[in-house]
Structure 1
Amino acid sequence: MLLPSSPSLLMPPGMGFTWLISSCLFFFSLLEFLLPSFISQRRPHRTQATWKAFARALNLFALGILLQGGYFHGVTSLTFGVDIQRIRWLGILQRISIGYIVAALCEIWLPAPRWKELGFVKSYYWQWFVAVILLALYSGLLYGLYVPDWQFDVSASTSSLPPIGGGDIYMVNCSVRGDLGPACNSAGMIDRYILGLDHLYRKPVYRNLKGCNMSAKGQVSDSSPSWCHAPFDPEGILSSITAAVSCIIGLQYGHVLAHLQDHKGRLYNWMCFSLSFLALGLFLALIGIPLNKSLYTVSYMLLTSAASGLTFIALYFLVDVHVTGV
């Protein structure tokens, strides 16, 4: 997350603008912690600001489709081109655009009392309320949806692997509810119904599991379970909900930066946020909500948000406090 060291670069003197800073930070690696932060203005005309936010989100979404949708497949062969029937609709840039527009709409339209009187949490309680609603929706869909048995046709899917036993159809037996495994989770079912199997990620990380018997050449053994051959999108519809919540959390860090001018106050509030998310994420992991990157579970979202906040605190202290000494 790269932010100007001088507060005047964020809030120009004489301009009554509140700046939206949403940190879309998703994964454990430092590179993924430092995904782009979006800084936009909350202008007096909310409708105009909304249109501009949607324009930015659509531009980023379109860029994601261009870069990750399959436009550059077959560069060294005669298959080069765009295959609309198998284009990947969701990817990391599309997820960032979804999180950005959710955080932007919260900042533009939800009322916020004076933070000096109530503090940051109470002042932006409507934004926290939206985050809680999104987490409840995610949990309800993840654990409440019934996943029936499903099948897919290898010859019509994105997989180029030979079918098991000479057949064309893979059958996956589920008939469960609340399963978080790679075969029968509701996140995959939602993506298959809405996006279509051919528009999902072709090489999911699930194939690296021991049960799939992945060869050194990246081929899945014929004796592997049927779900090992199926596409799965880790940046799917359901996991984008919790990713949007992480952007709302990043927005709260931006509020601290915009409203407080002293380093001590900023570091104190950021540390309170980060340690709270860390404790809650560890608690959820201990009671049985696993850290699952592909499903972007609530515990995973809280722990990565905490790690992102602590990383940002360290960088802010080194650059703005220690080096500049301002």
Structure 2
Amino acid sequence: MLGLFLQGGFFHGLNDLTYGVDIEHMRWMGILQRIAIAYLLAALCEIWLKGDGNVNLASSLLSQYRFQWALVLMLSTLYLSLLYGLYVPDWEYRIPIETSSSPPKLFSVKCGVRGDTGPACNAVGMIDRKILGIQHLYKRPVYARTQQCSINFPNNGPLPSDAPSWCQAPFDPEGLLSSVMAIVSCFVGLHYGHIIVHYKDHRDRIFHWMFTSSCLVVLGLGLNLCGMHFNKALYTFSYMCFTAGVAGILFAGIYFMVDVCGCRRPTFVMEWMGIHALMLYILAACNVLPVFLQGFYWSRPRNNILTLIGIGR
């Protein structure tokens, strides 16, 4: 519910003091919704899908949580099968003309392919358009900042004269299929937590973290070199492996510095940010704090604190 309120379109962003959203065009998915779904499924599996017994070796750790890893395998197979196996037909979308009473402008996107991971014809977008509805997707996708779609690349800007027809199409990077890989990444994090639970020696913990993380990084890089490229918007399997591995290596490094060496003071800021991560995201990334601050102005709305410090117009 918080995600729908903050990311569904209720707040209209910087330089706009209006608020409210048409339910027929509310964005259903978002980062907070993805986190909620992934954490919920991981928590339920941790309650119901784990074995009993002591863990002495890495193989016994995997065996104790074999049902969770079986689910990870099923989810990964489902994602890869749909991403590379689904046929994506031609599709259309409409963009309203704000300065005219004319009907919305119709754009046609030519596809007719399978396994495409480009902006226009990927299965991730097709599934969201079919299930969620194109009117409920994110209307300012990252693709709008690409060289093909913006003369101010890598920033947003006017369309080039030869811009592809898909440049203004809604696309949700936190859609249904891409969230499947986010769920898998939560299980990787759960595995890192299992190492803390079952291994008490610092050396054992760091070894297992580094071994798992290194394998994920190598797997991700190998898949990227073999053609399954990193793609954050689609949350590809290679991207998930690489980022989860890098996160594990970073986690092991911080653990060594703080818990083994006792150097806690340099990481105080990161600790505080981690404790209040959700609140910081809501205030900053969701523009809640900037929208709140711009509501206080002198004489005219443009004379606000944000404009004074160079944010906004």
TM-score range, shorter chain: 0.7 to 0.9
Residue deviations 1:304-325 (CA, integer Å, cap 9, x gap): 0001101111111111111169
Whether contact under 8 Å (2:145, 2:156) holds in the other structure is no
Letter in 2 for 1:139: L
- Report the CA distance shift for 1:271/1:161 in structure 2 as closer, same or farther (over 3 A): farther
Q: Deviations over 1:12-61 (max 9, x none)?
A: xxxxxxxxxxxxxxxxxxxxxxxxxxxxxxxxxxxxxxxxxxxxxxxxxx
The Cα of 1:222 is off from its aligned counterpart by 5.2
The Cα of 1:232 is off from its aligned counterpart by: 0.6
Report SS of the residue matched to 1:251.
helix
Distance 1:295 1:76, change over 3 A: closer
Larger RCO: 1 or 2 (CA < 8 Å, sep 6+): 1
Alignment match of 1:244 (pick from 180, 183, 200): 183
Which residue is 1:146 aligned to?
87
Alignment map for 1:221-300 (pairs within 5 Å): 221=160, 223-300=162-239
**Residues 161 and 220 in structure 1, CA contact (< 8 A), matched pair in contact too:** no
Matched residue, 2:149:
212
Residue aligning to 1:309: 248
- Secondary structure of the residue aligned to 1:171 is strand
Q: 1:177 to 1:83 in 2, by over 3 A?
A: same
User: For the Cα contact (< 8 Å) 2:144–2:156, is it kept in 1?
Assistant: no
Letter in 2 for 1:193: K
Secondary structure of the corresponding residue to residue 232 of structure 2:
coil
How far off is 1:214 after superposition?
A: 3.8
Shift in alpha-carbon separation, 1:115–1:179, aligned structure 2, 3 A: farther
- Equivalent residue number for residue 15 of structure 1: none
**Unmatched runs of 5 consecutive residues or more in structure 2:** 265-313
* SS of alignment partner, residue 265 of structure 1: helix
User: SS in structure 1 opposite 2:92?
Assistant: strand
| Contact map agreement 1:207 1:214 (CA 8 A) in 2 | no
* Count of residues paired in the alignment: 258
User: CA offset at residue 119 of structure 1?
Assistant: 2.4
Work out whether residues 113 and 124 of structure 1, in 8 Å CA contact, stay in contact via their aligned partners in 2: no
Q: With structure 1 as the length reference, what TM-score do the two structures score?
A: 0.74
Letter in 2 for 1:227: W
Distance in 2 (alpha carbons) for counterparts of 1:241 and 1:161 = 36
Q: Distance in 1 between matches of 2:202 and 2:209?
A: 11
Task: Please say if 1:132 is aligned against 2:73.
Answer: yes
> Which one of 124, 128, 133 corresponds to residue 187 of structure 1?
124
**Mapped contact 1:204–1:233 kept (Cα < 8 A):** yes
Partner of 2:45: 106
Alpha-carbon contact 2:72-2:187 (below 8 Å) kept: yes
- What 5-or-longer segments of structure 1 have no aligned partner? 1-61
Does the 8 Å contact 2:220/2:241 carry over to 1?
A: yes
CA separation in 1, counterparts of 2:166 and 2:84?
20
2:308 corresponds in structure 1 to none
Distance 2:218 2:17 in 1: 53
Displacement after TM superposition at 1:99 (Å): 1.0
Query: Relative to structure 1, is the Cα distance of residues 182 and 76 closer, same or farther in structure 2, using a 3 angstrom cutoff?
Result: closer
Taking the TM superposition and a 5 Å limit, the aligned residue runs for 1:110-125 are 110-116=49-55, 118-125=59-66
Q: TM-score, normalised by structure 2?
A: 0.77
Shift of 1:76: 6.1
Q: Pairwise CA RMSD of aligned residues? A: 2.3
- Identity between Structure 1 and Structure 2 (%): 50
Counterpart residue identity of residue 50, structure 2: P
Alpha-carbon distance change, 129 to 217 in structure 1, aligned in 2, over 3 angstroms:
closer
